[in-house]
Copies of this chain bind each other. A is one copy, B any other.
Amino acid sequence: MIHQLTLSDVLAEHARSRPGVTAVVDGELRLTYPELDARVTRLAGALAARGVTAGERVLWLGRNDHAVLELLLASSRLGAILCPANWRQSAEELSFVLSDLAPKVVVWEESEVAAPLSGEDWILAGAGYEAFLAGGSPDAVPDGFADGADDADDADDTAPVLALYTAAFDGRPNAALLSSAALVAHSTSLLVVRQMEPGFTFLNSGPLFHVGTMMFCLATLQIGGTNVFTPAFDAEEVCRLVDAEKVTQAFLFGQMIDAVVKANEGGKYDLTSLRFVSHSAEWDAMTSVDDSPWCRSKMGGYGQTEVAGMLTFLGLAPGASGFAGRPSPLVQVRILAPDGDEVPAGEVGEICARGKSLFSGYFNRPELNEAKSRGGWHHTGDLGRREADGTITFIGPRLRMIKSGNENIYPAEVERVLKTHPAVADAAVIGVPDERWRQAVKAVVVLRDGADASAEELVEHVRGGLASYKKPRQVDFVAAIPKKGFTPDYDALDAAHGGGGYPGT
């Protein structure tokens, strides 16, 4: 027990160490850490009364809300698992999540969830949630500090506590399970790279069902800072909250930042408490520069839900050649060939990882989990390369591999080079059956409006940037590449352009 530190334990310590610190701001609601701890205790009691025991799931369907953090902490207290799901999914998609996760309790926002798939144990967010919480016994589930004689009932910090659904890379969404130990480790890596300190105030302005916002929410909890919740991104409201709460960081990027700049034209709100990466002259003038490694050069790195957020940080590789930076101090990264061997620096392989912030597999997917963790390494499904200076370059999703002769060819690598040709607007690469080499590379290319390039020219362009065996032998020109989300729909491409013969099929 001595080495345990669950999310609930983090809260229990803050309730003692930071009695006067505001933990949560959400609309009119302000909670100090002891007040948050007391509410979580009641909530855990209420959930326990509904049969939420260790390993059971609780589902949140709604916009951002302090209830998400409270439900997560109460789940931690019980050894249960909270899933904040994307509430804007179709009825069919929500139906899949419900049957996949089989949650014991669902808390949902009536105004947001279209065609609710109601159930007996559904609780309405807002007043319904408050009544549910108020009905919980404050004595049912103590805060992890028992009377010294017996702590055997404390939650295990390696047990999953958070479930986040990830992209449907195998045809259906999968819920990545993250333990307290992994979340605490990841938060600590963010504390290091973002140089977060007590007093850190984070505005949860991105969706909490996504790891990008959740990871900062949890790091803010870890350092005993203040989490400010807003239902969803609204530029004017972001300005108001940053000013009122002296927010130090928010989940903002690209067009969101532009919208905030526009909303604050004339400087109505004071945003100087916000420490952020440089963006535009107007933005830089109204905020403060963040000189932590997180923002010093370029923000970010490479990550995914399955590693609790970030696996590598650009901030740990200033001036480096790789596009993803260096690994977090709490993980190892290996670039592996399909046979499990490490590929030499400069060669492309699958980004694989091991370490303290890794997930615990997907909920209820034993076969997928075995495949993704083969050899004791998590296989991210993404391609990368170790550069000569040791930094990592992220290439793109692996998706599938083409086998030509004895060589492994990843479509993403060839696509990247094709897209650097000035005439190419978009490109996808597939494998077509080949009698001699098993498969040959075929490029499907969209040319820019008014641009022109021959197949031979494009093949030559690839040959100039990659090993010769990776060059396409055929090029099909099309008006558009079919997509699944942001990535090419390879099944549709195979059907339309004669693809097939992939290894393992």
Pairwise interchain contact B340-A3, C-beta atoms closer than 8 A: no
Decide yes or no: A389 and B20 within 8 Å by CB, A151-B376, A340-B148 being known contacts.
yes
Q: Which residues of B contact A188 (CB under 8 A)?
A: 188-189, 192, 329-330
CB-defined interface of A1-25 with B at 8 Å, one 1/0 digit per residue? 1111100011011001111100000
Shortest distance from the beta carbon of A1 to any chain B beta carbon, whole Å: 3
Q: How far is the CA of A355 from the CA of B4 in the complex (A)?
A: 5
> Quick check: is A87 within 8 A (CB to CB) of the other chain?
no
Nearest residue in B to A187 (C-beta to C-beta)?
B329
Q: A182-B3, A356-B5, A390-B20 are in contact. Are A375 and B148 (CB under 8 A)?
A: yes
Q: Are A1 and B316 in contact (CB under 8 A)?
A: no
Say which residue of B3, B154, B345 sits within 8 Å of A355 (CB atoms).
B3
**How far apart are A227's CB and chain B's nearest CB, in angstroms?**
15
In the assembled complex, A250 has its CB within 8 A of some CB on chain B: no
Q: Is A331 at the interface (CB under 8 A from chain B)?
A: yes
A9, B9: Cα distance in complex, Å: 28
- A151 / chain B contacts, CB cutoff of 8 Å: 375-376
The oligomer's copy count stands at: 2
- Does A122 belong to the interface (CB within 8 Å)? no
CA distance A191 to B358 in the complex (A): 20
Are A16 and B386 closer than 8 Å at their CB atoms?
Answer: yes
User: Nearest chain-B residue to A337 (Cβ)?
Assistant: B148
Q: By the criterion CB–CB under 8 Å, are B197 and A293 in contact? A: yes
Report the minimum CB–CB distance from A306 to chain B (whole Å).
10
Contacts of A187 in B (CB 8 A): 329
Q: Tell me how far the C-beta of A342 lies from the nearest C-beta in chain B, rounded to whole angstroms.
A: 6
Considering the complex, give the chain B residue whose CB is closest to the CB of A353.
B2
Q: Is A373 engaged at the interface, CB distance under 8 Å to the other chain? A: yes
A354's partner among B1, B191, B326 (CB-CB below 8 A) is: B1
CB distance from A350 to the nearest CB of B (A): 11
Q: Considering the chains assembled together, what is the distance between the CA atoms of A427 and B316 in angstroms?
A: 52
A124 at the interface (CB under 8 A from B): no
Question: CB of A28 within 8 A of chain B?
Answer: no
Across the interface, which residues of B come within 8 angstroms of A388, CB to CB?
Answer: 19
Q: Hey, what's the 0/1 contact readout for A25-55 against B, CB within 8 Å counting as 1?
A: 0000000000000000000000000000000
Residue of B nearest to A374 (CB): B148
A27 to chain B, nearest CB (A): 26
Q: Which of A351-392 contact B (CB under 8 A)?
A: 354-356, 358, 373-378, 386, 388-392
A297 at interface (Cβ–Cβ under 8 A)?
no
Contact B2 A326 (CB under 8 A): no
Say which residue of B145, B189, B341, B373 sits within 8 Å of A342 (CB atoms). B145
The smallest beta-carbon distance between A384 and chain B, in angstroms, is 12
Tell me the bound Cα distance from A64 to B9 in angstroms.
38
Taking the nearest CB of chain B, how far is it from the CB of A458, in angstroms? 35
191-211 of chain A: CB within 8 A of chain B: 191-192, 195-198
User: A145-B342, A188-B192, A340-B149 given as contacts; is B332 within 8 A of A373 (CB)?
Assistant: no
Q: How far is the CA of A17 from the CA of B329 in the complex (A)?
A: 11
Tell me, yes or no, whether A136 is within 8 Å of chain B by CB: no
CB atoms of B17 and A390 under 8 A apart:
yes
Residue A462 CB within 8 A of the other chain: no
CB distance from A362 to the nearest CB of B (A): 13
Q: How far is the CA of A158 from the CA of B414 in the complex (A)?
A: 43
A390 to B331, CA, bound (A): 33
**Residues of B close to A340: CB separation below 8 A:** 147-149
In the assembled complex, A68 has its CB within 8 A of some CB on chain B: no
A181 within 8 A of B: yes
Interface mask (A144-177 → B, CB under 8 Å = 1, otherwise 0): 0111111100100010000000000000000000
Return chain B residues, CB-CB under 8 Å to A196.
192
- Expressed in whole angstroms, the minimum distance between the Cβ of A346 and any Cβ of chain B is 12
By beta carbon, the residue of chain B nearest A20 is B389
Q: Measured between C-beta atoms, what is the minimum distance from A326 to chain B in Å?
A: 5
> With the chains together, A377 CA to B199 CA distance in Å?
29
Residues of B within 8 A of A158 (CB): 3
A sample of 19 inter-chain contacts (CB < 8 A) reads A2-B378, A5-B330, A13-B327, A13-B332, A13-B333, A16-B334, A16-B390, A17-B391, A18-B390, A19-B388, A146-B376, A147-B341, A184-B356, A188-B189, A188-B192, A188-B330, A191-B329, A195-B195, A198-B317
Known: A2-B354, A148-B375, A188-B330. 11 other contacts (CB 8 A): A2-B377, A3-B354, A13-B327, A16-B334, A16-B390, A19-B389, A20-B390, A147-B340, A187-B329, A192-B223, A198-B318
Which 6 residue pairs of A and B lie closest in terms of their CB atoms, listed nearest first? A148-B340, A1-B376, A148-B375, A151-B376, A17-B390, A13-B332
